[in-house]
Amino acid sequence: MNAQAIAYNDKAISTSAVWSRLMLFLDKQPTGAKWGIVLGLMLAIAWVDQATGWELSLLAVYALPILLAVRLMGRNAGVVMALLHGPIWWIANEGSQPYTTAWGYNWTMISRVIVFAFIAVGANAIRSKQEADKARIEMLEQVRRLQAEIVSASEHEQQRIGQDLHDGLCQQLAAIGCAARALAEDLQAHQLVEAQDAEKIESAIQQAVMEARSMARGIFPVHVDHTGLSIALSELAQNTRRLTGTAIEVDHVADVQIESPEVAMHLYRIAQEAVANAVRHSGASQVVISLLMEGSYLKLTINDNGRGIEASEGWEGLGMGLRTMRYRAHAMGAELAIAEGSHGGTSVCCSLKVNATTTSFHHEHV
């Protein structure tokens, strides 16, 4: 962009700012002052019209106070100004008008009044539409802010629960396991058969600790920020496979270092939600997670061999889960596509354009 274009844009921005400040000032004035401004403007135009004579038409200029009245006070004020325009114009041009009959001059006045009344009504319709569009945009922005707050609150609550599970329940179970171990050793020292039962209890507690820690890490995957998204997805697959028995595979994964913790968490949560829905709702026996670089896009894909998007009622009933996935994709500037897989089942694909949020990557098979 050359210097002339930059200067032109700066001038346009400056003019727009001045106009906005002027309208804001006029909007704050009392109704009487607004009427005085628009009537004074119309009388000033009429004085110029009278001074310049019949040859110079100020038809378009007379529309300014009418449009200003609509802008400041609404349609009725604009129609009133249109009606006042007739006699004011008639008086301003009565001495120089070329009509040979009074009917011709009066009919011209009436025609101008009708035209300006239509202008007032049309300007009010445009103003109403602009206000409705502004209100709709504000509502959409408020909805987006509310969605962001809901997702943020949900994320914080999940992190809190995950931390509580790890620091609270897991530690208590570990302590109980230690007590069971001590009990088993004491029973063994006395050569009692109950020692085997105590060992079974200890083994069950250790298994419960492992499952609780797996759940905690799924709810609060702190490793996403530190060791990379690919490792987080691998652990998601391992934990889900162990807890549900469903075959979860991670294939063709790009080891991507993501600088933004929010982007990494959004991608992880989308994968987590897609895997959970494939296991719960589609009846899938196999789920494949992939994270690939295709050109300048990072693509996270979750495919399953379940009933498919058309036959499955689960996807239609997801409600908040599906909307949250779509919001997460939108929040990081990605595209989310949910469709029937090429070999049946359901395919969830999130495409993120690589920019400053990623640093380096290489492909590896997990």
Matching residue, tokens 């009708």: 114
pLDDT above 70: percentage of residues in the chain: 81
Per the model's pLDDT, the better-predicted residue between 320 and 50 turns out to be 50
Cβ atoms 146, 192 nearer than 8 A? no
Per the model's pLDDT, the better-predicted residue between 363 and 249 turns out to be 249
Convert the pLDDT of each residue in 249-291 to its tens digit. Answer: 888 777 667 777 788 888 888 998 888 888 887 778 889 999 8
Does residue 312 have a pLDDT over 50? no
Does residue 10 have a pLDDT over 60? no
Q: Where are the beta strands (DSSP E) in the chain?
A: 247-258, 286-294, 297-304, 335-340, 346-353, 358-364
pLDDT band at 365 (very low <50, low <70, confident <90, very high): very low
Enter the tokens of residue 22. Answer: 């002027």
Q: How many other CB atoms sit within 10 Å of the CB of residue 76?
A: 12
pTM score, whole prediction: 0.53
The predicted pLDDT at position 350 comes to 92
The predicted pLDDT at position 361 comes to 44
Tell which residue, 185, 178, 168, has the closest CA to residue 202: 178
pLDDT band at 360 (very low <50, low <70, confident <90, very high): very low
pLDDT above 90: percentage of residues in the chain: 4
Return mean pLDDT, the chain: 78
Residues β-bridged to residue 161? none
Mean pLDDT of 317-338: 80
Convert the pLDDT of each residue in 198-229 to its tens digit. Answer: 888 878 887 777 777 666 666 656 455 545 78
Convert the pLDDT of each residue in 93-102 to its tens digit. Answer: 887 888 888 7
All domains in the chain, ordered by first residue: 3-144 (no CATH), 224-364 (3.30.565.10)
Matching residue, tokens 């408020």: 142
Q: Per-residue b/e over 39-61, b at no fewer than 16 CB within 10 Å?
A: bebbeebbeebbeeeeeeebeee
Distance between CA atoms of residues 336 and 117, nearest Å: 50
Helix or strand run (H / E) with residue 331: helix 320-331
Tell which residue, 267, 274, 275, has the closest CA to residue 329: 267
pLDDT band at 321 (very low <50, low <70, confident <90, very high): confident
Per the model's pLDDT, the better-predicted residue between 20 and 13 turns out to be 20
Does residue 162 have a pLDDT over 60? yes
CA dihedral angle for residue 68, residue 70, residue 72, residue 74, rounded to 10 degrees: 170
The predicted pLDDT at position 297 comes to 87
Cβ atoms 275, 315 nearer than 8 A? no
